[in-house]
Amino acid sequence: MTMTRRYHDPLDKKFIAGELCLDFANTVDWRASGAPVELLKTCEDLVTWGRRAGLVDMPTARRFFRESQKRPDDAAAVLKRAVTVREAIYGLALALLQLRRPSAKDLEIFNRELRIAFQHRKVVPGHQGLSWNWDSRNRDLEELLWPILRSAAELLTSERHARIRQCADDRGCGWLFLDTTKNHSRRWCAMEDCGNRAKARRHYQRIRAPKAKITED
């Protein structure tokens, strides 16, 4: 089993889940293996992820960096909350996927953060009438969590939750995604990653099988 990181830069990964909250849940590599790899190790990792997810622009990301450096203890506390609620989101999504009752602890953690996030919701003029937005100062790291929590609350309470899947990789990739294919056939986090590896493995087994038979004879 290869347990090396799949990408040179662990955060330079594709956003493959089709839903913000699931991409966030996937900030752990090899989740379903015995050796998961944390991708959000520092506050900078969290900001970088947020920027790549399109949650903040570059100037705001820079401001987050600066604020984290000015108040490292506060930033570390936000990172800890982010990782804790991420695990709750993963736990809730997995419970729905496996048709299990969600854990009370995951729900408690999630609802606590959701309450905080939703205190900052507001409506603003949009293209047509009004639209949802956030009461944001664009300087608190915590703001990155708000849209993720909204995404999770919406997905987990909608009918779309029935489309949540976990990568079928047998090494323990464990990433979650929404299967939006018409025939519900998506099995891999990414075809060019776990999917290709499984294909190559099946091919190898196929070309190997006849040889094994010859040796037996």
Residues of this chain that bind Zn ion (CB under 5 A): 167, 169, 173, 175, 189, 194
Q: Identify which of residues 49 and 175 has a Cβ nearer to Zn ion in the complex.
A: 175
Beta bridge partners of 37: 29
CB of 6 to Zn ion, least distance (A): 9
* Long-range contacts (CB closer than 8 Å, 24 or more residues apart) made by 185-192: 189/16, 189/17, 189/26, 190/14, 190/16
Contact 89, 21 (CB under 8 A): yes
Q: Identify which of residues 16 and 156 has a Cβ nearer to Zn ion in the complex.
A: 16
Residue from 52, 28, 54, 30 nearest 41 by CA:
28
Q: How many CB atoms lie within 10 A of CB 188?
A: 21
Q: Identify which of residues 102 and 172 has a Cβ nearer to Zn ion in the complex.
A: 172
Q: Where are the alpha helices (DSSP H) in the chain?
A: 20-25, 43-52, 58-70, 72-97, 104-118, 145-157, 196-216
CB of 188 to Zn ion, least distance (A): 6
CB of 177 to Zn ion, least distance (A): 9
Q: Identify which of residues 6 and 120 has a Cβ nearer to Zn ion in the complex.
A: 6
CB of 8 to Zn ion, least distance (A): 18
